[in-house]
Structure 1
Amino acid sequence: MSEHAAIHDIAHLGGIELLTPEPERSLWYFRDVLGMEVVHAAGPSVYLRGYGDRAASTFKLTHADAPGVGCISWRAASAAALERRAAALMAAGLGEGWSNGDFGRGRSFRFRDPDGHSMALYYEELAYEAPTELRSALKNQPQRYTGRGVGVRRTDHLALMAHDVSANRRFAQELLGFQLREQVIFDDGRQEIGSWMSPNAIHHQLAYVADLDGGHGRLHHVSLWVDNREDVLRAADILTENGIFIEAGPSKHNNSQGFYLYSYEPGGNRVEIYSGSYLVLAPDWQPVIWNEQERGSGTYWGAPLPETFLKYATPTVAAKK
């Protein structure tokens, strides 16, 4: 059993803020092409959600000079859990202090991971209440399926680039209580290339992967969930018909077993349409470790991941400087 398994203060990924220099085109991509619902707008930001998300908003688009990730929000398991994690993060020198929260959220604690990514913890959350025209016939479904575009159900996970994967993985385990699912380790166990983690039964809600360009605080991709493989294949048709560049897939990953499709939204950020994978319910789960030969091209079947998948991240190193 993992020595870090005793901390259960984080419930799940609460929301992702994506930065874009092309706000109108990015909004078109997420709203019209992917089928997300706009629920609020304030200043340079628009707030969206997938039709299966319980919260009022799980995705935020913010106009910025360069693409990348803004604040990544995690929901605490309780008010007391929020206080415990905030105290631990402050003691570790990573805390930035409290705020009154963002749209749909209560009091929040801001902090940064060792690589510099901005994060927040909160507990109080506004549940989504659909207007009449979006109410589902299912009482346990927060919103009806609109059939618009890809029709993504929910925000699933994100992968962050890190100069030191090991340091950031330890941060997530020791300070946030995330459980380690899988790792890619090269050079006879000396080089940690990537680690996949989660605070709950979902295979991973956060991954750290090595930043080969030596950057800090950069985004590899955000991932949005659809129900099955056929939805991923359908997404490929919809993206192609709308002139969206598909970087990789549809294919199946070896680690995570996820069925995937990667594209670039108009602002330049990589977005994954994702399904499949597996749940981890065992309390004594042992992380699965892949070496160079076992990892291979990163696919179980399908075309190998391109070189851009290993190196491209937002913002670019030049823009970050």
Structure 2
Amino acid sequence: MPVPAANLYPDFNTIRLSHVCLNVKDLAASKTFYTEILGLQITDEDDTRVYLRAMEERGHHCIILQASDQPGTVEVMGFKTFDEDDLDRAKAYFEARGRPTEWVERPYQGKTLLTSDNMGIPLEFYHKMDRLEPIHQKYALYRGVKPLRIDHFNVFSSDVDASVAFYSDFGFRVTEYTEDEESKKLWAAWMHRKGGVHDMAFTNGTGPRMHHVAFWVPTPLNIIDLLDLMATSGFVKNIERGPGRHGISNAFFLYALDPDGHRIEIYCSDYQTVDPDLEPIKWDLKDPQRQTLWGAPAPESWFKHGTTFSGVETKDSQMKATPIVAP
């Protein structure tokens, strides 16, 4: 199935991904992982939540760790709109497509719309979030992998074609994609709003489930430093895949699991995609350089493990095609 044409004039204007709320079992243990190992900065905390931001971010938070009796699930994924009026337009848009909508109160955010996509992934849209002082030049605060900003979400979808069509309609643009040559269906796709390779990506599999949330770092050396830190501070078993360089996106990467099994990607060196007429790059599912430019296949866990969305039922994919999997 062809990649749908980009909708350059959507009903409402999404700027970028913004934040995610992760449900965790042990708030103290998760706090240690995200602050001392990854290096995110605490912006507020109480007995049930820890709010975190990365070093370049002026918004109050990009990650919320929430103590829950359903640990290892995702509560919501958040996106920022261009202006306040986009929120009313978004509400009308999702209602017209039969999706539930409601205005919700969120700490440190202004008017916020809660809805869901075609698979049921809980999405929230806002325009205003509390602004904090810049800390990107406060180098004494840098630790861990030195994350600069949240970069993207990747989710498992039981029907990647349907997911791509849904997000394309409200303005997301495909940068790269994997097509199964036999069925001509999409196996994976990378879509963006902010001018990088992706804000949201879809991978074929039982879904919806979160595959990973990614953070941008300055250089590959930051990832090497993180590996040394994890290997000598009790987190060596949390290292899942990498380091390596993706064929898709050209990004240097590392994948690690947090204490509740949420997959985190540390990521740098992809490319700019600002031009609205940029043609998507197509990859064959069996191309060994698709996963890793250097040819190393991903482990089986990378294709099977994901974290569910709280209260959302999953559905198995009917696609039989498989990528190359490490033995």
Q: TM-score, normalised by structure 1?
A: 0.88
Residue in 2 that maps onto 1:87 = 92
Residue in 1 that maps onto 2:54 = 50
8 Å CA contact retained: 2:214, 2:264: yes
8 Å CA contact retained: 2:6, 2:168: no
8 Å CA contact retained: 2:175, 2:190: yes
Partner of 1:116: helix, strand, or coil? Answer: coil
8 Å CA contact retained: 1:145, 1:151: no
Residue in 2 that maps onto 1:206 = 200
In the alignment, is residue 194 of structure 1 matched against residue 188 of structure 2?
Answer: yes
Shift in Å at residue 80 of structure 1?
1.9
**Deviations 1:233-263 (Å, cap 9, x if unpaired)?**
1111112112222111110000011100011
- Where do 4+ consecutive residues of structure 1 move more than 6 Å? none
Residue in 2 that maps onto 1:97 = 102
Among candidates 267, 270, 285, match of residue 274 of structure 1: 267
In 2, Cα distance between equivalents of 1:220 and 1:43: 27
**Deviations 1:62-112 (Å, cap 9, x if unpaired)?**
122231322111000111222212210111111321123x22210111111
In percent, how many aligned pairs have the same letter?
A: 25
In 2, Cα distance between equivalents of 1:229 and 1:251: 9
Among candidates 223, 226, 229, match of residue 220 of structure 2: 229
8 Å CA contact retained: 2:255, 2:266: yes
Residue in 2 that maps onto 1:263 = 256
Aligned in 2, Cα 1:67/1:309: closer, same or farther, shift over 3 Å?
A: same
Shift in Å at residue 116 of structure 1?
1.5
Residue in 2 that maps onto 1:166 = 161
Amino acid at match of 2:229: I
Aligned length: 306
Amino acid at match of 2:160: V
8 Å CA contact retained: 2:239, 2:255: yes
Aligned in 2, Cα 1:170/1:148: closer, same or farther, shift over 3 Å?
A: same
Residue in 1 that maps onto 2:9 = 6
Among candidates 290, 295, 303, match of residue 296 of structure 2: 303
Partner of 2:92: helix, strand, or coil? Answer: helix
Amino acid at match of 1:207: A
**Deviations 1:160-179 (Å, cap 9, x if unpaired)?**
1111111111111103x111
Aligned in 2, Cα 1:313/1:9: closer, same or farther, shift over 3 Å?
A: same
In the alignment, is residue 21 of structure 1 matched against residue 25 of structure 2?
Answer: yes
In the alignment, is residue 252 of structure 1 matched against residue 256 of structure 2?
Answer: no
Amino acid at match of 1:146: L
Unaligned runs of at least 5 residues, structure 1: 131-135
In 1, Cα distance between equivalents of 2:288 and 2:183: 13
In 1, Cα distance between equivalents of 2:288 and 2:126: 36
Amino acid at match of 1:243: G
8 Å CA contact retained: 1:154, 1:224: yes
Shift in Å at residue 37 of structure 1?
1.0
8 Å CA contact retained: 2:219, 2:268: yes
Shift in Å at residue 42 of structure 1?
4.5
For residues 57-136 of structure 1, the aligned pairs below 5 Å read 57-64=61-68, 65-100=70-105, 102-129=106-133, 136=135
In the alignment, is residue 183 of structure 1 matched against residue 151 of structure 2?
Answer: no
Q: TM-score, normalised by structure 2?
A: 0.87
Shift in Å at residue 144 of structure 1?
4.6
Partner of 2:248: helix, strand, or coil? Answer: coil
In 2, Cα distance between equivalents of 1:193 and 1:302: 19
In 2, Cα distance between equivalents of 1:305 and 1:226: 22
Shift in Å at residue 301 of structure 1?
1.5
Residue in 2 that maps onto 1:34 = 38
Shift in Å at residue 145 of structure 1?
5.3
Aligned in 2, Cα 1:83/1:142: closer, same or farther, shift over 3 Å?
A: farther
Amino acid at match of 1:25: A
Partner of 2:249: helix, strand, or coil? Answer: coil
Aligned in 2, Cα 1:145/1:12: closer, same or farther, shift over 3 Å?
A: farther
Shift in Å at residue 22 of structure 1?
2.9
